[in-house]
Amino acid sequence: MINPRGTAVKVLKQVLDNNAYSNVVLSMYLNKENLDRKDRALVTELVYGTLRYKYTIDSILDSFIKSDIGKMDGDILNILRMSVYQLRYLSKIPEFAVVNEAVELSKRKSVKLSKLVNGVLRNYLRNKDTLTCEHKGDKMSRWCFKYSFSRWMAELFITQYGEKTGESILKNSNIVPKVTVRVNTLKIKYEQVWNELIKNGYDVKEGTICKEALIIKKGSNIELNPLFKKGYITVQDESSMLVAHVMDLEENMTVLDLCSAPGGKSCHIAELMKNTGKVYACDLHANKMSLVKENASRLGVENLIYNVFDAEKYIGQFENAADRVLIDVPCSGLGIIRKKPEIKWTKNKDSMDNLVKIQRNIMLNASKYVKQEGKLIYSTCTLNKVENNENINWFIQKNPQFKLEKINFGDFENIIYDEKGYITVLPNDNMDGFFIAKMIKYR
């Protein structure tokens, strides 16, 4: 019989040691190993929870282990991390069961190390109410411990957004996200999807802003539901849905989506255009383009034209050819930590600085494809202002033929409207962090 905690340790090893994507490797192991529904849920909880609170957990372990935890056996360290997560953040699993499971699992590695695991966890339980590590240091250090962020990332949010909003970003980035789906208006009406999901035992509510957004509060895996398989719905965060809505789309337009994969925005654009006109779905990677094709086929989207090329490199056929150009550029992803908590540990300042050059190259190149009076839309799923506000300000200064158009969805607590016109969506219960700017070409 496969031990779900053993599966969780395997996933954590791939994510933390090999920089694998949590959602991809988790899905792979869940599909490969014969786990029942309850055990699949436990593995998912342990993986995402441990990744989410790794900084805090490691700080605790540091105070109970004399040696450098970075030099410990990786599997033993992840067993300890996973166990402290259960003991500190989960209430349904009895403490003795957590410790016993950890000891038995670590015995597979080493009887000697299993004694270390037992000692550390029991020591933590004896002293959990008098921990000193959560009170050490300045205010920033305490935020890092409370919300489990490395100092440089916490400082980035606090410096760029101020203490109140910055702390809110830290807090809300730890929210366990609900699944949001987009109703495919090419195939079905919103009310029909709503009624069908209710009939099948799902607890649902309307999206916050987009009329086609529907939030799954509770229910079984939506991707196994016939509504998904038939293309009536697709999984997409509502922040991401906002992008197509700001594009002022009309039927029979020519639209370029230069960073298309996996195709959520391209297909949404096609749906809003009612399968008319042309939507060029472009991406650098051929294997990712196959995902766009699969999504379009399932959704009944017929007006996509597929292209594999580098968005930084000029393509002559698109010169002044598009009514709308979307560049959802590669970014640091600091707005989607809710869904991919490993971003806290896999990103660093150098990698973000390198992205800015790519983002600006894509923006300059994409601007050549916009018709006069056409529109260029820039979006990211990060909250780093260097990749967002500063990039747009730089571009407008270099390209005075483009002017920012104001974006306005109404009064929402998690949307920051900059006076220049672009918006920042902050993470909350229902939406990821996002940034969108819309620019019109006047000459």
> Would you say residue 318 lies in a domain?
yes
Residue 154 domain boundaries: 139-172
State the average pLDDT over residues 76-103.
95
* Maximal CA-CA distance, the chain: 73
> Would you say residue 109 lies in a domain?
yes
Is 416 found in the same domain as 270? Answer: yes
C-alpha to C-alpha distance for 4 and 398, rounded to whole angstroms: 54
Position 135 pLDDT exceeds 80:
no
Asked, as a colleague might, if the bond just before 427 is cis with ω within 30 of 0, I would say no
> Would you say residue 83 lies in a domain?
yes
State the average pLDDT over residues 147-169.
97
Is 288 found in the same domain as 332? Answer: yes
Tracing tokens 């560049």 back to the chain, one arrives at: 327
State the average pLDDT over residues 250-262.
96
pLDDT digits (tens, 9 = 90+) for 44-72: 999 999 999 999 999 999 999 988 888 89
pLDDT digits (tens, 9 = 90+) for 102-119: 999 999 988 999 999 999
pLDDT digits (tens, 9 = 90+) for 334-359: 999 999 999 999 998 888 888 999 99
State the average pLDDT over residues 305-317.
94
What is the structure's pLDDT at 220? 86
> Would you say residue 49 lies in a domain?
yes
CATH number for the domain that contains residue 71: 1.10.940.10
Position 312 pLDDT exceeds 90:
yes
> Would you say residue 242 lies in a domain?
yes
Mean pLDDT score of the chain: 95
Is 436 found in the same domain as 288? Answer: yes
**Which residue did the predictor score with more confidence, 136 or 275?**
275
- Is there a binding annotation on residue 102? no
Find residue 254's DSSP bridge partners. 278
Is 437 found in the same domain as 358? Answer: yes
What is the structure's pLDDT at 241? 98
Are residues 357 and 405 in contact, defined by beta-carbon separation less than 8 angstroms?
Answer: no
Is 423 found in the same domain as 334? Answer: yes
State the average pLDDT over residues 239-251.
98
State the average pLDDT over residues 8-34.
92
Q: Which residues are catalytic?
A: 381
CATH number for the domain that contains residue 322: 3.40.50.150
- Is there a binding annotation on residue 263? yes
Is 163 found in the same domain as 108? Answer: no
Is 437 found in the same domain as 306? Answer: yes
Domain boundary among 80, 106, 135: 135
The percent of residues above 70 in pLDDT, for the chain, comes to 100
Position 85 pLDDT exceeds 90:
yes
> Would you say residue 92 lies in a domain?
yes
Tracing tokens 């997560």 back to the chain, one arrives at: 85
- Predicted TM-score (pTM) of the model is 0.95
> Would you say residue 287 lies in a domain?
yes
C-alpha to C-alpha distance for 347 and 193, rounded to whole angstroms: 38
The percent of residues above 90 in pLDDT, for the chain, comes to 87
Tracing tokens 């489990």 back to the chain, one arrives at: 148
What is the structure's pLDDT at 1? 61
- Is there a binding annotation on residue 207? no
C-alpha to C-alpha distance for 167 and 163, rounded to whole angstroms: 6
Task: Output the DSSP codes for 108-148.
Answer: TT-HHHHHHHHHHHHHHHHHGGG-SGGG-SSHHHHHHHHHT
Position 207 pLDDT exceeds 80:
yes
Position 9 pLDDT exceeds 90:
yes
State the average pLDDT over residues 256-275.
96
Domain count, the chain: 3
Is 341 found in the same domain as 282? Answer: yes
